[in-house]
Amino acid sequence: MDGARPDRTVAGTLVAAFGVVLFHVLFGFGETMFQPTIPAMTNDLAPDHLRGRYNALSSGFFQLGGIAGPVVAGFMLRHDQTVAFIVMVAAGCLSLIGLALVLERRIPSRANGIDAPETEVEGLVERPHPVVDTV
């Protein structure tokens, strides 16, 4: 070699394919943990008269992340801020872990699933059904 640096890219290699598959596995695991818990906890924490507003706010912030995330990532990567982008993503993930641990202590045990009823029948509340006139 005449002083040229060897090309160390992994694009189009088996390592790149493994990275994509690993990402999808981790993303799928995160979605599997997220989807059944956050909406249920939101509904458990909300008072009956504000449940719709709590759900709207939760959904709105989830959608805001889906909109703002690609815009911010695209802007940073377009302007060669790759290192800053990776640091921002890592700092965001670490801060969410810390927040989750702090919030876990503050969430009531009934909303966190700790005081769940032994059977489903015990957890059900009997409510009278309204009479519907079919005439």
**pLDDT at 23 (0 to 100):** 93
pLDDT, residue 50, reads 93
Indicate the average pLDDT of the chain: 82
- What is the amino acid identity at position 61? F
More confident residue, 35 or 78: 78
pLDDT in tens, 109-127: 777 777 655 545 555 555 5
> Which string of b and e fits 79-110 if b means at least 16 CB within 10 Å?
eeeeeebeeeeeeeeeeeeeeeeeeeeeeeee
Kindly indicate the confidence band of residue 95, based on its pLDDT and cuts at 50, 70 and 90.
very high
d(CA 92, CA 107): 22
Structure token pair of residue 10: 């992994």
Instruction: Answer whether 0.85 is exceeded by the pTM.
Output: no
